Every structure is written in C-alpha cells, then in structure tokens.
A = this chain, B = another copy of it.
Amino acid sequence: MDCVRSRLPQAQRRTQLVSAALDIAIAEGIAATTIRRVAKRAGVALGVVHYCFADKDDLFVALAERIVTDLLGAASDAPGFDDAEDLAVALRCAVDGLWEGIEATRAAQLLTYEITAHALRNPALNHVAERQYAVSRAAVSALLSSAATSTRSAWLRPVDEVADEVLAMLDGITLRWLVDGDGVAARARLARFTDYVRTYAKTTRRRRKGSA
C-alpha cells in the first residue's frame, strides 16, 4: 500500500523489479525482457536496475527463482483428492488439477521452456534449469505419494522414478499443446498415460464401503 516511487531499500526494489520482469517475460518472452523494459515498466531509471542486479544474468536468476517460488506455492495450494477411494480416480483428479493449472497459464508455461533453454545455453545459469526440474519433480513426486497413501495404495517402483516419467510426459504434452493448442487431445493423452501409470501401484487394502 505504501508508495513505491523513490528511495526504496534495495530488497524491496529487487522484488518490485522482478515483478516487472515477470510481467514482461510472461507477456512477451525472455528475449523481450531487457533491462530497459524492466526499468520502464517499474517506473524507475535504467541504472536503478543495474544497482540492484549485478547484470542481466543476475536479474534472470532472480526471475527464475520467483517463477519457481510461485510454482511451489501453486503446488502446495493443490487441493486434496476429495474422497477418492480408488487410486485411478485419485490420479486422474491430481493430474487433471495439474493440467488445469497448465492450461490456465499458457504464456507462463512457454516462458518456463524459454528459461530452460536460455539456462542451458548459458553455463553460468545451468543451475537454474536444474532447480526448475528439481522443484517440479518434488511436486509431482509428492502428489503421487499423496495419491497413493490417501487411497491406501503403494507404488511398486521408487516414486521418484514414476514422477520422472510423469514429468517427462507432462512436459511433452504441454509442449505439443503450446504448438497446436488442442487441449482436448492433450487431456486425452494425459488420461491414457495416467491410466498406464496407475499400473505401477497396487492397492494394499480395500476400504469397505461403509467403513468411514
């Protein structure tokens, strides 16, 4: 609520500038996210950005970190599986939720791929790409674990491995959807794959109908 004009402490400036950078990056891509544009959008002079960030890469690192943070936040907001008794249902529910989040943020998804590519080209930014994946992996892994335990099931393989496969498929489907925009086909692919993934788990004990 307070005024964000001038003479801000560096920490606040940084978050303000990262927000501006994120806006631009989502809307117009990483190539359009120049220091000048960020400064203009934030309403500060050009040099202010250079005062807060050592160089452009430094700004990108902060931007990537913000995206990862947002992703973590979104993942923890993910609702439970209601009262799904069946693992197949729980999985579908979880994956549908994931996909809904993806489909609602097309530009942000594209940005994620752009940042990955950018990070892979720049040796100094390699850790950014790795961190992106580590966080996504952990989120999917947690989702799979949760889906299993809440339906009294167990994964027959290391859940991290399953998560890696799910993540790969999710990435591939998302990329394809970014290109052709066919959400129906994407969901169909995802549903098929989810059914397949379900075979990696067994239900340990079947809950009786009226047990709750």
Could you tell me which A residues sit within 8 Å of B by CB distance? 28-29, 31, 110, 113-114, 116-118, 120-121, 129-130, 132-133, 164-165, 167-173, 175-176, 178-180, 185, 189, 192-193, 196
Contacts and interface: CB of A to CB of B under 8 A. Distances in A.
Contacts of A28: 121
Given A117-B110, A171-B171, A196-B196, A165 B189 contact: yes
Nearest to A31: B31
A185 B164 contact: yes
Contacts of A172: 167-173, 175
Given A113-B116, A167-B172, A169-B172, 4 more contacts: A113-B113, A164-B189, A165-B189, A168-B172
A180 B171 CA distance: 15
B192 A165 contact: yes
Would you call the interface of chain A mostly helix, strand, loop, or mixed?
A: helix
A169 B169 contact: yes
A108 to B, nearest CB: 13
Nearest to A122: B29
A118 B115 CA distance: 12
B133 A180 contact: yes
Contacts of A114: 117, 121
Contacts of A118: 31
B116 A120 contact: no
A130 B31 contact: no
Contacts of A185: 164
B130 A179 contact: yes
Q: Max chain B CB contacts within 10 Å: which of A164, A178, A196?
A: A164
